Structure 1
Amino acid sequence: MRLISAIFFFTVVIASFLLPENSSAQARDLASSGSFYSGFGFGLPVDVKSPYTDGMGVAGVSTFTNMTTSTANPAHWGLIGFTQGNLTLSMNGFRATDRNSSAENALLAFKNFQLVIPVLRNRLGVSASFTPLTRSNFEVFEEGNFDPLDVSSQTDDVNFISNIAGTGGINRFEIGMGLRLTENLSAGYGFSANLLAQQQESTVAFSDARYASILTNRDLSGYGYGHRFGLFMFKEDLFNEDDQLSVGASVNLPVTIDATRTISTFRTVENQRTLIELNEGSPDRNGTVTLPLEFNAGLTYNLSRFVNVTAEMLMQEWDEARYSYSAQQEAYYKNRVKTGLGVQYHPYRDEQADGLLSGLKYSFGTSYDTGHLSINGNDIETILFNAGIGVISTRSSSSIDLNFHYGIRGTQSSDLVKENIWGFTLSLNLAEFMFVRPKFQ
């Protein structure tokens, strides 16, 4: 038996830097390494998706297959008959524009890893996975000027250039199990450690030599435990001999993280450059970060073994999320709803099919996201169009999924940013029989 293993680490972070109140800046406040909106709170939520349904724009809570493992619904783990592993790489590009400027960037990262092993084939399975829950990766450049502090000085306004770079986020390490309760019903549970790791570096340089350059580091860390539940049921031969209707749902309970934030900078102490903690002993050093309650439900109808259609809805109670380090940024949170609709075509299932194109799986879909932020009265909405192809192995149940997306997020109203988003995910899905009956027995 082959076991699939991987070590995956990716970090993301958030930031805020305060300038003098009388400053006036003409800023290029556009993210140059990730989404501009990932700089708010503890980052943008990262949706958990199955590689099998990513090209449809849906998570896949109601879609089960023995070819690809999935973290979307713990109930799926009780149905597996193979040892399965998945490793996903993602590339995301952004073109951000406001009323004054634009910026383009791309971000390459590992996305998630999962290993599922059947303890009792097609009856009981266990899963171990790593998945990012929030991600914030950005760099913001700003330039402007302000009046010097010395009012008697004849010096003109002081120019400044600041740069804020952040990485980090919340990553989930989860173990769980799925159990087949009846022929057509399964349930699952996942227990997780949710690790918060955020780093931010802010640098400011001034045109006036009386103002020394400033380098400030903000590090936020903590952890909390989470619980997730899933249900999956299906019915075959509903309207004809080849169809199947399946329903799936998952619930992710709120996760509270007791966090610690350190703010540090370098200063000269006794002619030596020394790292100094600025908030040691401060009451705002310790705080709370809370991920909201999440509910995801879907319906999949297989018209035949060649075509299936899926509709899903995701709801997150961001009104109940907490980010105690900034009351202003916490106030931006609002409840989030995301809907998706997609279709798949499986020509490789036709035994008479011939040729390369007929040996692939094709996916298409779209999704609409109300967003979890409302800034200056503007909901930060996202619409995405998705497509994907799957390369199916003719010798095993392994596959490779290549999924694409393009969409629009945000608005240029109220000095905000509109983003054109494009990207792809590449997933390697390995599957094999855990137990093989000897040929002669």
Structure 2
Amino acid sequence: MGHAATALRSGTYVNLSNPALWSDQALTTFSAGASLATVRGEDALTDEASVGTAGDLSSLHLGVPLLPGRLGVTLAYRPFSRVNYRAAIRDSLSVEGDMAPYTLNQEGAGGLQQLSAGVGAKVGSFLQLGASADVLFGSQELLQRTDFDDNVFLETRQARVTRLRGITATLGAAVTARNLATDDDALTVAASVRLPAALDASRTVTLGESLDRDTLRAPDGSLSVDGDVTIPLAVRGGVAYLSGLRWLAALDASYEPWSGFDSSLPVGGYDPGTGLDLLSDRVRVGGGFEITPAGRDRRAGVFQRSSYRIGGYAENGLYAPAGEDVTTLALTGGVSVPNRLTGARFDLGLEVGTRGSAEGVLVRDTFFKGTLTLNFGERWFVRRRFD
């Protein structure tokens, strides 16, 4: 649904976009998701294209209603950022009058993971509030390999591993008005804020030939360089309108001021030593629509009880190389299929879009992403009565 989730309320799903909505939980819910993405990149300078495919675990979470429909807690694990690329540059150098061609290979892998734990509560009949503590941790490895065609020189490798860790928090709120146009509709307006995160960083650089690499010492003689990285806040707002259980529409907007990013260590697009700063504010707007033909009728067939979704979004990326914004436009769609088990659903999603431009010095990506999420829910902590 175009990633429009800030105001989506559900008694069977746990909404990781807004901790305030965790109070809606009626069942103890476990969810696991995976994704597979294919990206085709076109280089404007060389007019060449390449294709890459990668899969990943998208999320794991456990939601427990302490007071069904009023108070719920959630524990969630999900990726916060990803680094996954490979690029090659062909060049040559002069060796005793002869040209020695070589390939400069650059690879990146890793990323940050997010572990969250929090609570959502319903206050009164229309207000919901929530908060979570979020631990960010992980590492990023950048590898540069130089391969000479004639094998006169050994392959040289330089690797830079940066380990990051820190903690932040997310706050959320939602307000719902019911029975506006019909007796069973609801309009929800919601917002969430992820506070800035100060991360401790440690970087190790190794240099060597082939598989033998030695750790380079920092100017102070240590084997690693310590620093700090500050990730800016993220603000999300959304609105959702639900008509019974048959259809709903949602609209979301998010803002991340990456122009205020700060780091004592050089990172991609940012170097405090040289003054390089290619980061810009990130803005995303998205929306979507869902229809469930059977609505509340549990006796209908599986296709009538399935939920069908479609949406789209536009995003201004956080990198602005050559002073040009990198824009992403995408369409999303999917289906949620119920299971015979109460609270169990299988969600299939597809995302198709483009990122960037093949003009000037930029690269244009065309991407296809498929997701599969398994949701299981059952009622726990039920007090048995014996007559």
Q: TM-score surpassing 0.5?
A: yes
Gaps of 5+ in 2: 271-276
Q: Distance in 2 between matches of 1:365 and 1:74?
A: 23
The aligned residue for residue 370 of structure 1 is: 316
Of the three residues 242, 261, 264, the one matched with 1:321 is 261
Q: CA deviation at 1:108?
A: 0.8
Q: CA deviation at 1:365?
A: 0.5
Q: Pick closer, same or farther for the CA change 1:68–1:357 going to 2, 3 Å.
A: same
Q: Could you say what the CA RMSD is over the residues aligned between the two structures, in angstroms?
A: 2.1
In the TM superposition, what are the counterparts of 1:247-396 in structure 2 within 5 Å? 247-266=189-208, 275-281=213-219, 285-326=225-266, 329-330=269-270, 331-351=277-297, 354-396=300-342
Q: CA deviation at 1:395?
A: 3.9
Q: Name the amino acid aligned to 2:145.
A: T
* Contact 1:59/1:72 (<8 A) preserved: no
* Contact 1:69/1:429 (<8 A) preserved: no
Q: Pick closer, same or farther for the CA change 1:291–1:428 going to 2, 3 Å.
A: same
Matching of residue 400 in structure 1 with residue 346 in structure 2: yes
In the TM superposition, what are the counterparts of 1:194-205 in structure 2 within 5 Å? 194-205=136-147
Q: CA deviation at 1:111?
A: 0.8
Q: Pick closer, same or farther for the CA change 1:328–1:73 going to 2, 3 Å.
A: closer
Give secondary structure in 1 for the equivalent of 2:304: helix
* Contact 2:157/2:213 (<8 A) preserved: no
TM-score in terms of structure 2 length: 0.91
1:285-331 deviation per Cα after TM superposition (whole angstroms, max 9, x unaligned)? 22332221100010001134311110110111111123443378121
* Contact 1:196/1:222 (<8 A) preserved: yes
The aligned residue for residue 221 of structure 1 is: 163
Gaps of 5+ in 1: 1-55
* Contact 2:254/2:285 (<8 A) preserved: yes
More strand per residue: 2
The aligned residue for residue 72 of structure 1 is: 17
Q: Pick closer, same or farther for the CA change 1:95–1:327 going to 2, 3 Å.
A: closer
Q: Pick closer, same or farther for the CA change 1:352–1:174 going to 2, 3 Å.
A: closer
The aligned residue for residue 97 of structure 2 is: 154
Of the three residues 67, 72, 96, the one matched with 1:120 is 67
The aligned residue for residue 77 of structure 2 is: 130
Q: Distance in 2 between matches of 1:253 and 1:197?
A: 21
Q: CA deviation at 1:208?
A: 6.0
The aligned residue for residue 273 of structure 2 is: none
TM-score in terms of structure 1 length: 0.81
Q: Name the amino acid aligned to 2:214.
A: I
Q: How many percent of aligned residue pairs carry the same amino acid?
A: 24
* Contact 1:87/1:428 (<8 A) preserved: yes
Q: CA deviation at 1:158?
A: 2.0
Q: Distance in 2 between matches of 1:349 and 1:409?
A: 37
The aligned residue for residue 16 of structure 1 is: none
Q: Name the amino acid aligned to 2:160.
A: R
Aligned residue pairs, count: 377
Q: Distance in 1 between matches of 2:114 and 2:285?
A: 23
Q: Distance in 1 between matches of 2:106 and 2:251?
A: 40
Q: Distance in 2 between matches of 1:393 and 1:226?
A: 37
Give secondary structure in 2 for the equivalent of 1:438: coil
Q: Pick closer, same or farther for the CA change 1:416–1:324 going to 2, 3 Å.
A: farther
Q: Pick closer, same or farther for the CA change 1:211–1:275 going to 2, 3 Å.
A: closer
Q: Distance in 2 between matches of 1:280 and 1:168?
A: 23
